[in-house]
Amino acid sequence: MMIVVALFAVSWSWSVAENPASNPNGTLEAKLHPPPQVETILRRSCYNCHSNSTHWPWFVHFRPFASKIRRDVADGRKALNFSEWQAQTGGNAQLESRTLATSCSLMEAGMMPPRYYAYVHPGAGPSSAEVKRFCRWANDEANRLAAAK
Ligand code: HEC
């Protein structure tokens, strides 16, 4: 049991795949300039599944994790890829607004990141303070975008 726990604690960073964004000016950072604290939360808690830079865990090579992790990353990126923000939202301010508001809601509900992620990536949070911090920014941006034309 201890060995299993120790192995899990090695966590989620064995190999890093940094695929460049198809449009470097179209990432969430380039478009919405989240403050550094928010960026840190996104990187740690979301980007492994929702961006082009995935830190693959070493156990991605082993059953039964391999297919689950690969599927989650593929599905996660398809649903929402912060590296492809402009391409995915088509620059539609209403869609951008809804996506940010939904991100906050799912975090508050403890549904994103998915629960198992906390087990395989200890310390990936987010803490309740981080959820608050993220939501304050995300909802401000969501309101600003919703009011924009
Ligand atoms: C371990 C992988 C993983 C992590 C980490 C993760 N997600 Fe997800 N996310 C998914 C998957 C898979 C889906 C799509 C399938 C589903 O709806 O369950 C999804 C769906 C979503 C959606 C819904 C998109 C839509 O279609 O409306 C949002 C929003 C979202 N995630 C936000 C986040 C945020 C914000 C974080 C960080 C706090 C996060 N996710 C972390 C895997 C992940």
The protein residue with its alpha carbon nearest to ligand 1, atom 23, reads 79
Please work out whether the CB of residue 50 comes within 6 Å of at least one atom of ligand 1.
Answer: yes
Please work out whether the CB of residue 5 comes within 6 Å of at least one atom of ligand 1.
Answer: no
Q: What is the pLDDT of residues 48-77, one digit of tens each?
A: 999 998 888 877 888 777 888 899 999 999
pTM of structure: 0.90
Please work out whether the CB of residue 106 comes within 6 Å of at least one atom of ligand 1.
Answer: yes
The protein residue with its alpha carbon nearest to ligand 1, atom 36, reads 46
DSSP 8-state secondary structure symbol assigned to residue 35 = -
Measured in angstroms, how far is the CA atom of residue 79 from the centroid of ligand 1? 7
Q: Exposed e or buried b for every residue in 31-41, given b needs 16+ CB within 10 A?
A: bbebeeebebb
Q: What is the pLDDT of residues 134-147, one digit of tens each?
A: 999 999 999 999 99
Across the chain, the runs of DSSP E, i.e. the strands, are 15-18, 53-56
Structure tokens at 1: 């049991």
Whole-number pLDDT of residue 27: 96
Please work out whether the CB of residue 76 comes within 6 Å of at least one atom of ligand 1.
Answer: yes
Which atom from ligand 1 is nearest to the alpha carbon of 46? 37
Handedness of CA 95, 83, 134, 44 (dihedral sign): positive
Whole-number pLDDT of residue 129: 97
Low-confidence ranges of the chain (pLDDT < 50): none
Please work out whether the CB of residue 48 comes within 6 Å of at least one atom of ligand 1.
Answer: yes
* Spatial CB neighbours of 2, under 8 Å, sequence gap ≥ 6: none
Domain boundaries, the chain: 32-147
Mean pLDDT over the full length of the chain: 89
Whole-number pLDDT of residue 18: 74
